[in-house]
Structure formats: structure tokens, C-alpha cells
């Protein structure tokens, strides 16, 4: 059974129980009120009959000129007064021995009624079927009599039965109307749940871009919002995984290609050296030089690759490093590279400390300067500056080299990607330096941005958190 069916049935049952109980209570109160009014009327009539009979009996005793009327005369007087009456109220007289003295019609009052009057001396009333009996103890002519009257209350019972039938009919009509209204209301209220169910099923089947409509501010709307947040998170994670898988495939393809080229050259020229017996010394030196260059490139490639793979897996040594001293040390080391190309290197930083891994920071700057050297011509200038801005440390590496086309900037941090592969390989590049720099900056919770134009040089802007100025 579905949820809307359960809600509909349970609510309908509760509503019908409430309506039925209310109707029964109202009917019971109405019947009790009508019966009490009838009892008051019957009791007044009973008292009137008894009082009238006593007055008439006194008149009869005076007429007979007797102190008290004998029992026979009493019975005869009763017969003359009440006669035989099949309609209206019935009356019955019993003596102290509970023996019937007179009755104006056949009556069968409950025995417990007269017994109650006998034991307490009070008046009592009792309903039997459509009859209402009233009994009282009366003292007449020195004797005790029990007077019982019988009244028809079928009109009250008939009204009660008619009201009961009407309530049943009204209850059935109300049940159908309430059921119809309740069905519409339940369907309307649970319609968002149906949408949530459909959306959840679609998401579970792989449609992670599916979103559930959010309406109102109730619990179902909150559930829809949470489901959408979950779907968005799942979609983001799936896309990230797909991107990682695509990057890995691209990485492996590039690695295979980059390894294949030098190996082909090494094997080819090795075969030439082995096969040709009359090779000249000049040729031998040329072939050996090519083999050495390709082997060197493979060593550089494998070293960079290993460094890229292990950069985030090794235990990092986080320390508050004095950036001015670190830049001075790095500048001194890198001058060897720039002096070979007759380039000027400016490497300086403002005083202050940064929470960083010393070796990773060195690797970051070495790779950035190495790229700047490869992109520059002899006699150029490379500037590496560091400064503190609030709680951040900003590094700027600029050169006057060939620059990078705008459409290539977003790709240069990809592994094995080189803007000019011929020039990169000629300079011993592997296409992994900037990918390694990106990983190092990410580990320092920083950002790296490139500003460049073809023929106008390149600027690398790096911002890292955790920097503070020295006292």
C-alpha cells in the first residue's frame, strides 16, 4: 500500500470515528433531554392523579358518613373513578402485601420497581420498552397502597429512532464528501513527494543533472533542497572523477609518447654504431652525442615525473621560513644558470616569514626560473620578487622572453604540455615543470596565475596563505 493510500485511509477512519462519536454523543444527549422532559411530565401527571384521587376519596367518605372507607368500598370507588381504560395512562393499586387491588387495564410493571418503593418509601420511575412506569407509596384510609402508573413513550422512542436513522444517512453522506475532499487534499499535499521520488529515481539511474522542483517552505521543500544539494555534490564528484580519469589517460598517453621518442633515437643510433664498421670518428662522436642528449632528456623526464608523483605523498616539513634569506639563497644558486646564458637575475623578497616547506619552495622557484630562462634570449632579464600583502605572500616571476599565446595559457600547467615542443626539447624540457609548480602551490593553499602575450614576455603571479611580516 502506497503512502498516500495509508494517509487517506487512516485519516478517513479517524475523521469518521470523530464524526460518529460526536453524532452519537449529540443523539444521546438529545434523547436523554427528551426522556427527562417526558419523565417530568409523567411524574407530574402521576402526582396529579394521586392527589385528585385522595381528594375525591375524602368527598366520598363524607358522603358515606364514615370515618374510613372499607377495602371493598375503596375498590369499588376506584372502579367508579378510573373505570376501564385501554388508551392513555394506566393505573394500578397494590396493598401492603404487594397484592393487586385494582388496575384499569392489564399491566405488568417490573417487580423491582415496587420493591424499591417498598424498601425506601420514595417514588421511582423505570422504562420498559416503550412504557414508562412510575410508582409511589401512598397512605389512604389508614392503609398503605402502592400506586403504579403506566405511560406510553413510543413517541420519544420513535423520534430517537428517526434521529438515529437520519444520523446514519448523514454520516454516510459526510463520509463520501469527506473522502472525496480528503483524497484531493492528500494527493495535492503528497504531490511534491511524488516529484521527489521521481527525481531520486532519475538521479539513482545516473541522471545527475536532474533537479527536483522546490516549492514552499515545508519539510518536503527542505527534503527537495537537500536532495538537490546531494545530486549536485554527486554530479560534481562524478565530473571530477571523469576529469581525473581523462587526465590520467592523457598523462599516460603523453608519457608513452615522450618516452618512445628518445628511446627510438637511442636504439637507432646504437644500432648504427654497432652495425657500421667503417664509421668515421666524426660520425661516431655525432651519434654518441645524440644518444647522450636523448638519454639526458629521459633522465630529466623521469626525475621530473618522479618529483611530480611524490610531491604530495612525502611528509612535508612545515616551518616558518624567512623569505628574504630563502630568496637570497635561491638567487645565488640560480645565477649559475642565468650567467651561462648571459642573463641578469634579480631575486629578492621583503622581510617576513611564510609557513612553507623549504625544499618545495626551492623546487617551485627553480622550475619557474628554469622556464623563464628557456623562454628568454641571451642578455634578457629575469625578476623574482616576493612581498607580503596582509596575511598572504605574493611571488612574481617575470621575464622578457617569447611569451605565451592567450589560447595556450590555460593548458600550460598540464603534464607534458609544451607551447613550442621543438624549442622545449632543444632546451632539455620535459613539459612537467609547470605541472609540478601547480602541485606545490596547491599544497601551500595558494593560487598561480599567468599574464603573457606573444613576444612580450611572461609574468607568473603566486599568492600563498600564512604569510606575516617580521617584527
Instruction: Give the domain CATH number at 237.
Output: 1.10.287.130
Question: Domain containing 119: what range?
Answer: 3-161
Contact 301, 259 (CB under 8 A): yes
Residue 321 in grid coordinates:
621560513
Same domain, 450 and 321: yes
Same domain, 132 and 52: yes
Burial, 201: exposed, middle or buried (Cβ in 10 Å; 0-12, 13-18, 19+)? Answer: exposed
Q: How many Cβ atoms from other residues are within 10 Å of residue 371's Cβ?
A: 23
Helices (H), 65-104: 71-82
How does pLDDT run across 65-75, given as a tens digit for each residue?
Answer: 877 788 888 88
Same domain, 408 and 461: yes
How does pLDDT run across 83-138, given as a tens digit for each residue?
Answer: 877 677 889 999 888 888 888 888 888 888 888 988 888 999 999 888 899 999 98
Q: What global pTM score does this model have?
A: 0.42
Same domain, 322 and 405: yes
Angle (CA) 37 42 46, round 5°: 150
Q: How many Cβ atoms from other residues are within 10 Å of residue 333's Cβ?
A: 14
Residue found by looking up cell 632543444 in the block: 426
How does pLDDT run across 144-187, given as a tens digit for each residue?
Answer: 889 999 998 888 888 888 888 888 888 888 888 888 888 888 87
- Which CATH number characterizes residue 326's domain? 3.30.565.10
Contact 59, 66 (CB under 8 A): no
Sheet holding 100-103, edge to edge: 100-103, 90-94, 143-152, 131-140, 124-128
Res 221 pLDDT > 80: no
Amino acid at each position: 500500500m502506497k503512502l498516500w493510500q495509508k494517509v487517506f485511509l487512516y485519516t478517513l477512519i479517524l475523521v469518521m470515528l470523530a464524526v460518529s462519536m460526536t453524532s452519537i454523543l449529540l443523539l444521546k444527549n438529545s434523547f436523554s433531554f427528551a426522556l427527562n422532559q417526558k419523565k417530568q411530565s409523567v411524574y407530574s401527571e402521576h402526582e396529579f392523579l394521586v392527589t385528585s384521587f385522595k381528594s375525591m376519596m375524602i368527598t366520598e367518605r363524607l358522603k358515606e358518613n364514615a370515618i374510613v372507607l372499607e377495602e371493598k368500598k375503596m375498590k369499588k370507588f376506584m372502579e367508579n373513578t378510573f373505570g376501564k381504560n385501554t388508551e392513555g395512562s394506566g393505573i394500578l393499586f397494590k396493598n401492603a402485601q404487594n397484592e393487586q387491588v385494582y388496575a384499569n387495564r392489564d399491566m405488568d410493571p417490573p417487580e423491582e420497581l415496587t420493591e424499591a418503593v417498598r424498601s425506601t418509601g420514595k417514588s421511582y420511575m423505570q422504562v420498559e420498552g416503550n412504557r414508562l412506569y412510575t410508582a409511589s407509596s401512598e397512605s389512604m384510609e389508614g392503609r398503605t397502597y402502592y400506586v403504579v402508573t403506566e405511560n406510553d413513550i413510543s413517541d420519544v422512542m420513535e423520534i430517537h429512532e428517526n434521529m438515529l436513522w437520519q444520523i446514519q444517512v448523514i454520516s454516510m453522506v459526510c463520509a463520501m464528501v469527506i473522502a472525496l475532499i480528503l483524497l484531493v487534499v492528500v494527493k495535492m499535499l503528497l504531490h511534491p513527494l511524488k516529484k521527489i521520488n521521481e527525481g531520486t529515481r532519475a538521479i539513482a539511474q545516473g541522471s545527475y543533472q536532474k533537479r527536483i522542483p522546490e516549492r514552499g517552505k515545508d519539510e518536503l521543500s527542505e527534503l527537495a533542497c537537500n536532495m538537490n544539494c546531494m545530486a549536485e555534490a554527486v554530479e560534481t564528484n562524478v565530473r571530477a572523477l571523469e576529469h581525473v580519469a581523462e587526465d590520467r589517460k592523457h598523462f599516460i598517453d603523453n608519457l608513452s609518447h615522450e618516452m618512445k621518442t628518445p628511446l627510438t633515437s637511442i636504439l637507432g643510433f646504437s644500432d648504427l654504431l654497432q652495425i657500421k664498421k667503417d664509421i668515421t670518428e666524426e660520425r661516431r662522436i655525432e651519434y654518441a652525442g645524440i644518444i647522450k642528449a636523448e638519454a639526458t632528456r629521459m633522465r630529466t623526464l623521469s626525475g621530473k615525473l618522479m618529483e611530480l608523483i611524490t610531491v604530495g605523498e612525502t611528509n612535508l616539513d612545515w616551518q616558518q621560513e624567512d623569505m628574504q634569506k630563502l630568496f637570497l639563497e635561491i638567487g645565488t644558486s640560480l645565477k649559475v644558470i642565468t650567467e651561462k646564458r648571459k642573463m641578469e637575475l634579480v631575486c629578492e623578497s621583503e622581510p617576513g616569514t611564510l609557513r612553507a616547506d623549504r625544499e618545495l619552495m626551492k623546487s617551485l622557484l627553480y622550475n619557474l626560473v628554469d622556464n623563464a630562462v628557456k623562454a628568454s634570449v641571451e642578455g634578457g632579464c629575469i625578476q623574482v620578487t616576493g612581498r607580503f600583502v596582509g596575511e598572504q605572500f605574493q611571488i612574481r616571476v617575470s621575464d622578457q622572453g617569447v611569451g605565451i599565446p592567450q589560447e595556450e595559457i590555460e593548458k600550460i600547467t598540464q603534464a607534458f604540455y609544451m607551447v613550442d615542443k621543438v624549442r622545449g626539447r632543444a632546451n632539455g624540457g620535459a613539459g612537467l615543470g609547470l605541472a609540478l609548480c601547480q602541485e606545490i602551490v596547491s599544497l601551500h593553499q595558494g593560487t598561480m596565475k599567468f599574464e603573457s602575450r606573444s613576444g612580450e614576455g611572461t609574468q607568473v603571479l603566486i599568492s600563498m596563505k600564512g604569510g606575516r611580516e617580521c617584527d
